[in-house]
């Protein structure tokens, strides 16, 4: 891997599914993904017999993630039709060019409820919406999309 340069300015794909191994539907391309798997908050501790304090990792919060997405009309309709009370599996698949093994780029996934909102429109800009995902599970990682025949099948 020495000498490899990280890729930039690529679009990752966003999918959803009702089950982890089930059929996935691509609903958007993403240029950026805000902090979706942050480190836990630090918990400060101290002891009476020391003159310093320390920190240990606390718990991670299941924050909402506001993801700006690029879409087609069909993808917009698919997102609007989702059941707003249901947790879906969401998959963020990094670009194929970033994978060491063909068809197995890193994929992050978690369960969340979703809401969609339109961003401001501007001349010479791509249509963009904000997909807010309300996480209910921890973020997991695989090589390729999880399938019934194994990961990245």
Residues with Cβ within 8 Å of 72's Cβ and at least 6 positions away in sequence, in order, are none
- Residue 35's nearest CA partner among 65, 14, 15, 61 is 65
Q: How many CA atoms lie within 13 A of 22 on its CB side?
A: 10
**Percentage of residues in the chain with pLDDT exceeding 90?**
35
Q: Domain residue spans in the chain?
A: 12-34+62-146
Residue 81 has pLDDT above 90, yes or no: yes
Reported as a single tens digit per residue, the pLDDT across 27-74 is: 988 888 787 777 778 888 788 888 888 888 877 777 788 888 888 888
Residue 84, pLDDT > 70, answer: yes
> What CATH number labels 12-34+62-146?
2.30.110
Tokens of 76: 């917009």
Model confidence band, residue 6 (pLDDT cutoffs 50, 70, 90): low
Q: How far is CA 48 from CA 30, 43, 56, 58, 128, in A?
A: 50, 17, 17, 21, 54
When pLDDT is cut at 50, 70 and 90, the band that residue 108 belongs to is very high
The secondary structure element, H or E, covering residue 29 is: strand 25-30
């Amino acid at each position: 891997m020495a000498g490899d340069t990280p890729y930039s300015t690529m679009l990752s794909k966003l999918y959803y599914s009702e089950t982890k191994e089930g059929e996935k539907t691509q609903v958007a391309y993403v240029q950026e993904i805000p902090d979706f798997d942050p480190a836990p908050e630090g918990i400060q501790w101290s002891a009476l017999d020391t003159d310093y304090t320390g920190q240990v990792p606390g718990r991670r919060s299941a924050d909402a993630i506001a993801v700006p997405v690029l879409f087609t009309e069909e993808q917009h309709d698919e997102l609007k039709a989702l059941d707003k009370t249901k947790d879906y599996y969401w998959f963020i698949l990094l670009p194929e060019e970033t994978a060491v093994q063909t068809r197995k780029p890193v994929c992050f996934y978690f369960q969340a409820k979703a809401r969609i909102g339109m961003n401001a429109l501007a001349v010479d800009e791509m249509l963009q919406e904000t997909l807010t995902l309300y996480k209910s599970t921890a973020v997991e990682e695989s090589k390729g999309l999880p399938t019934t025949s194994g990961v990245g099948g």
